[in-house]
Amino acid sequence: MKPVSTKQQKNKLELIDTHCHLDFPEFDSDRKRIYQVAREHGLTDLIIPGVKRDGWRLIRQLSALMEGVHSALGLHPMFMDTHKESDLHDLELALSVGPLVAVGEIGLDFQHGRADQSLQEKFFHNQLHMAKDANLPVILHVRKAHEDVLKQLRMLNFKNGGVIHAFNGDLNQARRYAEHGFKLGVGGAITFQRAVKIRAMVAELPLEQIVMETDAPDMPPATCKSGRNTPAHVFDNFRALCSIRQESSATLARQTTLNAKQVFRL
């Protein structure tokens, strides 16, 4: 992205990236610069969700060293082949240390079938229970599993809220997630004109439920030519949101930022 001019700095809108894997090796060579560019564009805060046990330490280090960066720790459902039973115990210990803004990235992913469904559900249930006990929100990864996740939330009477990352469900599911205190992550998918269904759904969501995200370095928006997504691209995602919503850009920026601050208690 281009540097921000002095005039742009005075008029810039402030946003929060609620889902960015700044700890991933794709950023090892220029992590500090990439984050600084995003800050110059108006990014005030960024949440790094953990996906595997061996990545938690770096996430904690980054949140301690970089202003506006916040930690979440969890065991991602797409890495079940690398998770160990002891990781659940280690997560419970990690939650007692803090400071963390959420448990995540956790959830259920049945995109490629349900061969490991019971194991996924075990890890998800345990982590959801830990979050409830620690009074923390959760960052949820959900693919082909919204009804399964909603069932777990209902059974546990989970009311701590959190964010449904890259939400692609329907308005009825959005309403039911709201009953558990959840916001819905909106990212690069809405920048693609061909994504008619998700753009139409996002246009109808209650504004009080929307938060912005990138999922960097993954899920680059249509405007990203390099192939590597970065936290600064949250502003491209935001411009797409402005194009499909009726509210002013100032209202959208203010409310989505407030939503993120509320759910993560920033």
pLDDT of residue 10: 46
pLDDT tens string 242-256 = 999 999 999 999 999
- The predicted structure's pLDDT at residue 1: 52
What is the model's pLDDT at position 190? Answer: 98
**Predicted local confidence at residue 11, as pLDDT:** 58
Q: Say whether 105 counts as a known binding-site residue.
A: yes
The whole-number pLDDT of residue 226 equals 81
At residue 62, the pLDDT reads 98
215 annotated binding-site participant: yes
Q: What pLDDT sits at residue 225? A: 83
Full set of structural domains in the chain with CATH? 14-264 (3.20.20.140)
Whole-model pTM: value is 0.95
| Residue 21 annotated as lining a ligand binding site | yes
Residues of the chain with pLDDT under 50: 2-10
Instruction: Please check if 165 is assigned to a binding site.
Output: yes
SS (H, E, C) the chain: CCCCCHHHHHHCCCEEECCCCCCCHHHCCCHHHHHHHHHHHCEEEEEEECCCHHHHHHHHHHHHHCCCEEEEECCCHHHCCCCCHHHHHHHHHHHHHCCCCEEEEEEEECCCCCCCHHHHHHHHHHHHHHHHHHCCCEEEEEECCHHHHHHHHHHHCCCCCEEEECCCCCHHHHHHHHCCCEEEEECHHHHCCCCHHHHHHHHHCCHHHEEECCCCCCCCCCCCCCCCCCHHHHHHHHHHHHHHCCCCHHHHHHHHHHHHHHHHCC
